[in-house]
Amino acid sequence: MTQQQYEECIKACLECMEACNVCFDACLEEDNVKMMADCIRLDRDCADLCGLAVKAMQTNSPAAKQILALCAEICERCGNECKKHDHDHCQKCAEACFKCAEVCRSTAA
């Protein structure tokens, strides 16, 4: 695949990475941080995976498709945790995660 064919997927990963990092920061500012512990963990994992996926696509890594397949799974998991919480940042993050999971899956296929 070329950089261009990866374009949509790179965009989805960057948006998901941003949503996860913003959610990580915002969760740590909430009154009830304890309730957000799993969200904080998964936000970190998911942001890091999205970053790795972007790097793999931008460098045309031979392992890109395998990394995208894993990225889709982690996004799915992060989205499922985030959607449990009413905070705006969590709901936005869940949306970005599910979108990213879908695009990663179809790009990896």
List interacting residues with a second copy (CB under 8 A). 3, 10, 14, 17-18, 21-22, 24-25, 28-29, 31-34, 36-38, 40-42, 44-45, 47-49, 51-52, 54-56, 58-63, 66-67, 70, 73-74, 77
Q: How far is CA 13 from the centre of its chain?
A: 6
Residue in the block written with tokens 């969590």: 90
Tell me how far apart the alpha carbons of residues 104 and 9 are, in angstroms, rounded to a whole number. Answer: 6
Kindly tell me the burial class for residue 90, based on how many C-beta atoms sit within 10 Å of its own C-beta (0-12, 13-18, 19 or more): buried
Q: Which one, 4 or 86, has the nearer CB to a second copy?
A: 4
Q: How far is the CB of 106 from a second copy (least distance, A)?
A: 19
In this complex, which beta carbon is closest to a second copy, that of residue 54 or of residue 94? 54
Nearest approach in angstroms of CB 70 to a second copy is 5
